[in-house]
Structure formats: C-alpha cells, structure tokens
Amino acid sequence: MHALILGLAAALSWGVHDLCVRFVSQRTGIIPALFTALFTGSILVGAAALIWGDWDGMTGPAFGLSLLSGVFFAAAGYALYRAFSIGPVKLVAPLIGSYPILSIAMALFQDQPVSALNWFAVLLVVAGAGCVAVFAAKEEDVHQNALTAIAWSLAAAFGFALTFAVGQSATQAGAELPVLIVTRAAALLATGLYAVFRRIVPLPPMDMLPALCLMGALDALALGLVLIAGTLPRPEFASITSSLFGLITVVLAWLFLRERMTRLQWLSVVVTFCGIACLGL
C-alpha cells in the first residue's frame, strides 16, 4: 500500500509538471527547457543527498544502474517534450502514461509474483488511459503530425518504464538519495552532451525560468518518490500508479487550457481509478 501511495503522489507532481511542459514547449526549445528543468531538480536533490544521503551504502552495482537509469530518463524526458510540443494534451498524456504494462512485465523478470488480479488492474489502468486517447481522436484533432506525436508518446512511455525498473533495482542495491542524485546527474550530463553534439545552447528565455524551476522541483519529487518505492514491497505498484499523471494532466488541461472533455473521457478516468483501487487489494 505504501508503494501505491508514493505512486499516486508522484502522479500528482508529474501531472502538474506535464501541464507546464505543454505551456513551455510552445515557447522555447526542447533541449534548453529539459536541461534547465533537470539542472534545477539536480540542485534540490543534490542538497538533500549531501545532507541526508547514506553514501556508505552506495555500492558499485547501484552506481552503474543509477547511471543507466539516468540515461533512460533523459531519453524519456526528451520524447515527452517532443510529444507535448506536437500533439494535444488529451491525446499525448494518456499514451505516455501507458507504461504500467511494461513495468509489470519487467517485474516478472525480477521474480516478482504477478497475480491475475494484478494483471486485471493493470489492464484497467491502461485501458482507461488508452480510451481517453481514442475518444480524443476526433476529426478536428487529427492532423499530419498526429502519428509523430503518438510515436514520441510511446517512446516516452517505454523510456519511463526502463527508468523506473532500472532505478528501483539501483535503490535495492544501494541507498535512495545517492541513487536519485546519480540518476539525475546522469540525465543532466546526457542532455548536455546531446546539446553539445547538436550545437544547441541549453539556455532558455529568462521569462521561462520560473516555470522551468517549478518543473524541475516537481520532476525531482516525483522521480524520487518512485525510486524510493524500490525499497518497499511490490515497488512496481508505484510505477503503475504514477502513470495516473497522464489523466491528471488531461483534467488540468480541461480546467486551465480549456481542452474539451467528453463524457466517455470522464468514464475512462473512472475506469482508471478502479484499476488503481484493485492494485491496493
């Protein structure tokens, strides 16, 4: 149950974060925005890790897994920003949140028992998120970049599933805060190297800094909650419930961006919550 709660808290943080991504991605470049958000989050996590981190418990395998998790996280973040810069929130967010089925599949390879009820709950969560996307695909939403937005959304989902699986394995082999800062540092370094390779200056417009700093803090909090769940029983539950961020983002877009929500989309939200409830049984 504790992993479930951590995942729900992470979903709320990422839901607000992704609403900000939609706003920022329309006004500045992807790499400058991603780099700044990662940098801000790394400062916050780094301060906590230096004060409270159990660095003596950080092992070699944990360090290596943290680096790998960070690379996956950078790739997933880039794909997320690309998706939100192309497609509407109600199409992109639920698809990005469809990674739970991958998290459960990875749990099988880690010798975690997965019951029929677990699979049913995951299918409810994924079906609910998927239905929001399907019902959002009205004629006015379909344009030449729709397939590109869907592809980037699914790439982000796959990247997040790998990030959480590898990151939670790192926390099991080491200590939570050191793993988290190494993961974020690796993501920041990977993004910076990509910027150098593409000759992109990773500095956003000054008026975007407040939003990007908020995004960095929310992202650091959410990722930390999911990775810390790696020390609890059934850590994959945190990954699954955190996928609710897609639906939270859709609801927030309905409230603040005035994106229309149909009755069938609201029904899909209820179905997803039913899936979350089943995971807690």
Q: What pLDDT is recorded for position 279? A: 65
Joined tokens for residue 199 = 């000759």
SS3 of 85, please?
A: helix
What is the C-alpha separation between 34 and 39, in angstroms, rounded?
8
Q: Where are the domains of the chain?
A: 2-279
Of the candidates 248, 256, 273, the residue with the CA atom closest to the CA atom of residue 18: 248
pLDDT in single tens digits along all 281 residues of the chain = 588 889 889 999 999 999 999 888 888 889 999 999 999 988 888 887 777 778 888 888 999 999 999 999 999 999 999 999 888 787 788 888 777 777 677 777 767 777 788 788 878 877 877 776 677 655 445 555 777 888 999 899 899 889 988 988 898 888 778 888 899 999 999 999 999 998 888 788 888 889 999 999 998 888 888 888 877 887 877 877 887 888 888 888 888 887 777 788 788 878 877 876 676 55
**Burial zone of 270 (CB within 10 Å; 0-12 exposed, 13-18 middle, 19+ buried):** exposed
CB atoms within 10 A of CB 268: 25
Q: Name the CA dihedral angle for 10, 12, 16, 22, rounded to a multiple of 10 degrees.
A: 80
Report d(CA 207, CA 38) in Å as an integer. 17
Cα–Cα distance for residue pair 227/229, rounded to 1 Å: 5
**pTM (predicted TM-score):** 0.85
pLDDT of residue 139: 43
In contact, 164 and 6? CB cutoff 8 Å: no
Alpha-carbon gap, residue 81 to 64, rounded angstroms: 26
Which string of b and e fits 117-134 if b means at least 16 CB within 10 Å?
A: ebeebbbbbbbbbbbbbe
Residues with Cβ within 8 Å of residue 126, at least 6 apart in sequence = 98, 100, 101, 275
How many Cα atoms occupy the beta-carbon half-sphere of 236 within 13 Å? Answer: 24
Residue in this structure with the two tokens 């995951």, named with its chain if needed: 122
User: CB–CB of 141/271 below 8 Å?
Assistant: no
Expressed in angstroms, the distance from the first to the final Cα of the chain is 8
